[in-house]
Amino acid sequence: MFKMFLIKYAEIAIKGKNRYLFEDALVEQIRHALKQVEGSFEVTKESGRVYVSCLSEYDFDEVVEALKRVFGIVGICPVVHIEDKGFENLADEVVRYMGQMYPGQKKSFKVMTRRIKKTYPMESMEVSAELGGRILDAFPELSVDVHEPQIVLHVEIRKTIYIYSETIPGPGGMPIGTNGKAMLLLSGGIDSPVAGYMIAKRGVKIDAVYFHAPPYTSERAKQKVVDLAKLVARYSGPIHLKVVNFTDIQLYIYDKCPHDELTIIMRRYMMRIAQSLAKEEGCLGLITGESIGQVASQTMQSLAVTNEVCTMPVYRPLIGFDKQEIVTIAEKIDTYETSILPFEDCCTIFVAKHPVTKPNLKSIQRSETKLTENIDALVQTAIETAETIVCE
Ligand code: ATP
Ligand code: MG
């Protein structure tokens, strides 16, 4: 019955010139999302509105699911779109609409008419009142309530006429492409995919980097990260995932530095490498899944020491979240099941039994001087040999 969707977005944040950027990005992201859905669709921008027209047969649920993953969309309204063939025709269409949408339901409603086409021969109040009467005649089980109706039937009279009454909530946020690009440190865990999702939701395009330590971490562990990147990409659009071979660096640190400092030193090298890849790719920040106190490497002291090597902003959207809150989002965005697959993580393999939880920056810097001989070359090689996988 629906051949069109009206896309609602939060307009408050987008005054003036930004509005065009926002709408254009939204249209582009909707087109991208619908490419993965069977059928032919047209996405148009018309007098401050975005519409999706369905030009062929399509699966309603599939289209709605795809649109629910497009950031910037606040509401998805399935619309019945008709030609203006006079009021009688409109009244027939409206009665038919109500009969199909709410058959036999004892609900309250009101009609809200917007007359954008000022040459329409009736005023909007008159249209609403008249349509309300026709609906009551056809469906005596319905009742009118102008203050708190269960159904608000919108009738918009433009060149053509739009009828809708349902709004399916969208994900909110801002369309990808409206806010630059950032580099996500993506591990196989629960947290980092959620962190990427949250920053993408603000309109930020995502690249990702994964530190791989073969043969200590398997091909399957790497595949799991690729799978997670693909799941996040359903929201963020294609992710260019850099897979960095971190083995030699880890072994070198293991060989030269105190074992209780391994994790923190490793994390400092991860940040340094991620930052250099981020600069190459034109990213404006790094993203991690860190949350204060979650593990030894995420105490305030550890975070401070890790952060000390970063000159680029590091976005940690989960910083104040409890694990359960993160899990809830992971479940919602469908990454949880993949994240809990039991594959080894490069950090856990070299982890000491008792890692420092309050690392001292001076002491860490002193330990790092023991790496002077080879570390620059190893880092350089790791960056140069990084493999890029496009995940979409
Ligand atoms: P996650 O659930 O995201 O793996 P975690 O609770 O395991 O996080 P850590 O292992 O301390 O926590 O990692 C903290 C953050 O560092 C991760 O959220 C991620 O952003 C980054 N990170 C950790 N390991 C890797 C890796 N092998 N490759 C890329 N990034 C990583
Ligand atoms: Mg992890």
Give the orientation angle of helix 323-332 with respect to helix 191-200, to 10 degrees. 70
Q: Whose CA is nearest to atom 16 of ligand 1?
A: 288
Pocket of ligand 1 (CB under 6 A): 185-187, 189-192, 209-211, 288-290, 294-295, 297-298, 346-347
Instruction: Using the mean position of ligand 1's atoms as its centre, give its distance from the Cα of residue 288 in Å.
Output: 7
pLDDT at 347: 59
Q: 264 and 350 in contact (C-beta within 8 Å)?
A: no
Measured by CA distance, the residue closest to atom 17 of ligand 1 is 289
pLDDT in tens, the chain (392 residues): 899 999 999 765 566 777 888 999 999 999 999 999 999 999 999 877 899 999 999 999 999 999 999 999 999 999 999 999 999 999 999 999 999 999 999 999 999 999 999 999 999 999 999 999 999 999 999 999 999 999 999 999 999 999 999 999 999 999 999 999 999 999 999 999 999 999 999 999 999 999 999 999 999 999 999 999 999 999 999 999 999 999 999 999 999 999 999 999 999 999 999 999 999 999 999 999 999 988 878 999 999 999 999 999 999 999 999 999 999 999 999 999 999 998 776 656 677 778 889 999 999 999 999 999 999 999 999 999 999 999 99
Ligand nearest the Cα atom of residue 193: 1
Q: Quote the pLDDT of residue 11.
A: 62
- What pLDDT does 14 receive? 67
Ligand 1 pocket test target in 185, 223, 329 with most atoms within 8 Å of CB:
185
Residue bearing the CA closest to ligand 1, atom 25: 187
Q: Which of the ligands is closest to the CA of residue 290?
A: 1
Per-residue confidence (pLDDT) for residue 19, from 0 to 100: 83
In degrees to the nearest 10, what's the CA dihedral of 36, 38, 39, 40? Answer: 20
- d(CA 286, ligand 1 centre) in Å: 13
The residue with tokens 């939204």 is 26
Name 208's Cβ contacts closer than 8 Å, sequence gap at least 6: 183, 184, 185, 186, 196, 229, 232, 239, 240, 241, 242, 391
* Side-chain half-sphere CA neighbours of 364 within 13 A: 26
Q: What's the token pair of residue 372?
A: 């002077």
pTM score, whole prediction? 0.92
Concatenated DSSP letters of 182-198:
EEEE--SSSHHHHHHHH
SS3 46: strand
Sign of CA dihedral 111, 116, 118, 121: negative
- Expressed in angstroms and rounded, the spacing between residue 236 Cα and the centre of ligand 2 is 21
Residue 271 is encoded by which pair of tokens? 């940040």
CB 206 within 8 A of CB 213: no
Query: Counting atoms of ligand 1 from 1, which one is nearest the CA of 212?
Result: 27
